[in-house]
Structure 1
C-alpha cells in the first residue's frame, strides 16, 4: 500500500531554497506521523527461497570443483607438457586474471538487469570452455591457457551475483545461515576437485578426463537455475517491500564503496586471505609429494600417470576442515554479534592470525614428518575457514542493497588481482629461481618450493591486522546501510 502524505508534510519538504522538482528528484518525503518508522514484520521466505539456495549451492560446488581439479592433477600436467613451476602457476593466474577483469562488468549488470539470466549466460560460457580445455594435446599448452582464461569469464558472472540473490531473499539470522551454507561449498567443492581429479586421472590414466566431469554436471545446474532460481527485488527484505531500486551511475557506486571503510578494510583482509589460500591450494599437494621424494618414501615420477595420493588426502582434509571451520565461524558469529557489534571482523582476525604458526609448522615439518604436517594443515585450514561465511555477511550488511553486486564485483576484482591471481605464479617463480641457483636434484626441487611457501604465513599476519582495523568502523557502517536499506535517511523515507 502506498504511504499517505499529508499536505503539511508535503509543505515541509518544499522548503525555501528547495524546489518541488528537487523534492521529487530526490524522492524523499517527511512522514510527520512517523507511521512509516514502524517496522512491519517481514514475511517468512517461501519454500521456493530454500530451493533456490539449494540450486545456488549446487552450482557453487561445481564452480570450486572445476577450479581445483587441475591442481589435483598438477604433477601429471607438468609431466604432460614438460613445464616449470612458474609456467604451471600461470594456469591459475590466467584463470584468475580473466575472472577479476570481468567481475566488475557482471557487478554493473547485476545491479541493473535480470541476475538470473546473467548467471545462466555465464554458466553456458563456463560449460563450453571447461569441456574444450579437456581436449588439449602435448603441443597445445597455449590452448589450455586460453580455455582457462575463458572459464574465468563464466565463473565471474556466478560468483559476483549469486550471494546478492541470497541477500535479497533472506534477512537477519536466516540470511547469515543461508550464506554460511552457500560458502561451505567453497572448501567442499575445492576438496572434491582434488579428490575427483586425482581419482579420475588414476582410473583412466589420462588427467584430461578429470576436466570433463564438472561440465557434464554443470548442464544439470544450468537447467536447475532456469527452473528454480528467482530474480528477487533488490533490497525487498530490508525495506519490507518498499524499495528504491533506481540504479545510480557506476561512478557513484564506486565512490560510495571507497568511502565505506568497513568494505575497504575487509576487502584488504580477504585479499590477504586469498593470497595465501590460493597459493596453498595450488601448491600443497605437489609440495607434499616432493617432500616424500625428499625423504625417500616415494620415487620421483617420470612417466604418467603420477601417483596422486597427496591430492586425495589434501582434498579430504579440505572438505572436512571447510565444513568444520564454516560451521564454527557461523556459530561464533551468531553467538557474539548481537552482544558485540564488531565481533565478525574480530573472528576473521583470530582465524587469520591463529593459522599463522600452524602454516609455519606445515612448511618446516614436511621434510621430517608427513603425518604431523597433515595435522598442521588440518588446524590451519580450519582456522582460515572460519572467515568464509562471515566475509560474505559483512559485505551484505555494510553495503546498501542496490550496490551489493557492484561491491561483490569490486571485492572479487581486488582480492584476485592482488591475491590468488599472482600468488601461485609468484611462488612458482621463487621456486624456479632457487632451483636455477642449485644442483638439479629431488632435494632442491623440494627445498625451493618450501622456501617459496614461507611467504604465505607472512601475508596471513598482514591479513589479520586488516580485519582488526575493520572492527573499528563496522558498527557505524552497518547502521548506515541498514537505515538506507529500510528507506530512511534521518526523518526521510526513500521511495
Structure 2
C-alpha cells in the first residue's frame, strides 16, 4: 500500500459527499443524516481492518466510505448547534464541539501507536473505534434534538415557511456573500497546513532526532512510534487550549468590536506563520526551540475552528447553512488537505533525488518542502482581514425580514419581554 494516498482518498470522498449531506441537511431530517453517517464510517473502519495487502484497493475504498460518513457530521452538526443556541451560548457550544477535532486527531496518533505496541498489528486500532462510535450513535438517537431551521433566532415560522430555493440558487447566494467567500479561503489555508503537518510532522521530528544523534535511523517498518505519540499529545493539548482561547477571546472582544471574529482569526494566523517558520528552521540547531515554536504554531492554528463556524452561522441564512458548511468543507479540502500531504511529499522526494543520499539531506529536503506552509498560513490571515471588511454588511443582509435570521438583539429582547414583561430591560 502507498500510505500517502490514503488521506487524499478519504478527503476526496468527503468533499464529494459533503454537498449531498448539505442539501439533505437543509431539506430533510438532520438527525437521520447524522445517524447514517456514523453507521457508514464505523462500518467501513471496522471492515478495513480485515482487508489483506493484495486487495489494497479495497482498503482505499473503505477509507473513502469513512470520508463519506465523516461528511455528515462535518456538514450538519454545526447547523444543528446553530439552531439551538445564539450569541455567547453559540460561541461556547461551538468551542466545545470543535475541541474534539484536535482531540480526535491527537488520540488517533496515541491510540494507533499504543495499539501497535501492544498487539504488533495496526489493524486492531480499526477494531476498537467502532465500539465508541456505537455509543455515539445511541447517544445521538436518545439525547440530541432535531430543531427546526432558524429556531434559535425565535423566527421558526419564517425560517420554515419561506419558499424553498433550489440548490443552485443557494450556491449563487453564497457566492455573492463575500464574508463567506473570504472566510472559506482562510479555512482552506488552515486545512492545507494542518493536513501537511498531520501527515509529515512525526517523520520530520523523527529525522530531526536522527540528525542530532538522539535516535538511530529507521531501517525497517514499523519505525519507533515515539514521534507519533509526541505529536499526538501536542495536537490534543494545543487543540483544547487553542479552541477555548479563540472562542473566549472572540466572545469577549465582540462586546467592543463587531468584527472581532475575523480579526481574531487573522491575528492568530499571522502570528502562527513565523512560529511555524522558526520551528522548521531551528530544528537543525536546537530541538527544544523547535518544539516550543511548533507548540505555539499549533496553538494559534487551533484558535480558529469554533470562531470560523460562528462567522458562517452569523452571515448565512438558516435555510442554506448546510449547503454553506458543505461548500466550505469542499473548497477547504480540495485546495487544502486533500493534496497538501502528497504535495509536501512530492517536493521532498524531488529535492532528495537531486541531493546526496544521506540522513541529513533527507531531513533538509523535508524541512524545505515544509517552508511553504508558513507562507500559506500568512495568506490565510490576509483572507480573514478581508472578511472583517465585509462582515457587518453580510450579517445585516442575513438578518433581513423573511430570511428567518433576525437580529440576535431582537431575539434577546423577545425573550426578556416574555419572561419579565418589561420593555426597559431591552434597551
Aligned to 1:279: 196
Structure 1 residues 120 and 486: alpha-carbon distance in aligned structure 2, compared to 1, 3 A threshold: closer
Give the structure 2 partner of residue 270 of structure 1: 187
Aligned partner of 2:170 in structure 1 is 253
The answer to which of 243-252 and 118-127 deviates more is 243-252
- The question of whether the paired residues in 1 share the 8 Å contact of 2:317 and 2:405 is answered with no
1:368 and 2:285 matched: yes
1:234 touches 1:243 (CA, 8 Å); kept in 2? no
The answer to whether residue 87 in structure 2 is matched with residue 172 in structure 1 is yes
SS state at 1:483 partner: coil
More displaced stretch, 159-168 vs 293-302: 293-302
Q: Per-residue displacement from partner, 1:223-247 (whole Å, max 9, x unpaired)? A: 1112122211000121344333243
The root-mean-square deviation of aligned C-alpha atoms, in Å, is 1.6
Q: In the aligned structure 1, how far is the partner of 2:293 from the partner of 2:405?
A: 48
Contact 1:130–1:211 under 8 Å retained in 2: yes
The question of whether the paired residues in 2 share the 8 Å contact of 1:111 and 1:247 is answered with: no
Q: Is the 8 A contact 1:269 1:464 kept in 2?
A: yes
Q: How does 1:37-436 map to 2 (within 5 A)?
A: 81=1, 87-245=2-160, 246-436=163-353
Aligned residue pairs: how many?
Answer: 404
Q: Secondary structure at the match of 1:237?
A: helix
Q: Secondary structure at the match of 2:218?
A: coil
SS in 1 for 2:54: coil
Cα deviation for residue 487 of structure 1 reads: 6.3
Separation in structure 2 between the aligned mates of residue 376 and residue 408 of structure 1, nearest angstrom: 31
**Partner residue in 1 for 2:381:** 464
**470-479 vs 428-437, greater mean Cα deviation:** 428-437
Residues 255-309 of structure 1: per-residue CA shift (max 9 Å, x gap): 1100101000000111011101111111101111111122222112233442111
Aligned to 1:449: 366
- TM superposition shift of 1:164: 0.4
Q: CA deviation at 1:337?
A: 0.9
Q: Could you list the per-position Cα deviations for residues 417-474 of structure 1 after superposition, in whole angstroms to 9, with x for gaps in the alignment? A: 0011010010011111122223333223222211111110010111111000000000
Which structure dedicates a bigger proportion of its chain to helix? 2
**Cα deviation 1:357-387 (Å, max 9, x = unaligned):** 1101111122232222211111111111111
Distance 1:280 1:487 in 2: 38
Structure 2 runs not aligned, ≥5 long: 408-427
**If you compute each CA radius of gyration, which structure gives the higher value, 1 or 2?**
1
Say if 1:176 and 1:393, in contact at 8 Å, map to a contact too.
yes
